[in-house]
Homo-oligomer: A and B are copies of this chain.
Amino acid sequence: MVRWEPGASDRLRKAALELYAARGFEQTTAAEIAASVGLTERTFFRHFADKREVIFNGAAEFEGGFIEGVRDAPESESVLEVVSAALAMAARFFPDERREFSRLRQTIIDDNASLREREQLKMTTLATGIAEALRDRGVTEPHASLAAQSGVTVFTVSFHQWIAEGETRPLGEIEADIMGELRSLTRAPLPNRGDSSR
């Protein structure tokens, strides 16, 4: 597995993101990325299966953080507490020094339909994985799926806030806020629906 550490892999990734952002993802070749940091196309393909992989090869680690968070959370009366622990664990994957990288990565994804689709699938896979880990802890359906999806929702909304221009709070703090907002939203009373059933 390619690790997040200085070296060819990181240089390639950095160069790739800059080229994707400047020229567009489709318009950039693996050979150009490699050449821009004095490496060969062959070296590129030793580190990444393809151009898309540069953007998504942290996905397993990212998902692993969440799953570990679910597994290691203390016994609790609330399934959302377990999800909150997983969110806190996942936030460690995004230290402040990664914010600029994440911002650039997001603009590249936003610009390309196929990358957006891939990113969405990643989030669905994450939700499926969290739901499975919750079921392993004895949480039944539909609670496992609802809690897992809600966790992904809180993560997604928080992550977009984290990379917003001018935002300086750490991701974990934003997640805790957004989880509170979700709880207050769903705690509001649901009025009698008689007048909207026509």
Contacts and interface: CB of A to CB of B under 8 A. Distances in A.
Nearest to A189: B78
A74 B78 CA distance: 33
How many copies the complex holds: the figure is: 2
A54 interface: no
Contact of A143 (B78, B185, B196): B185
Given A117-B118, A186-B182, A188-B78, A84 B146 contact: no
A181 B123 CA distance: 22
Nearest to A176: B193
Interface residues of A, number: 48
Contacts of A78: 188-191
30 contacts: A74-B195, A74-B196, A76-B191, A77-B188, A77-B189, A78-B189, A79-B185, A80-B185, A80-B186, A80-B190, A81-B190, A81-B193, A84-B190, A85-B193, A116-B121, A117-B117, A117-B118, A142-B157, A142-B181, A145-B157, A146-B153, A146-B157, A146-B182, A149-B153, A150-B185, A150-B186, A179-B190, A182-B186, A183-B186, A187-B187
Interface of A: 73-74, 76-81, 84-85, 88, 113-114, 116-118, 120-121, 123-124, 142-143, 145-147, 149-150, 153-154, 156-157, 161, 178-179, 181-183, 185-191, 193, 195-197
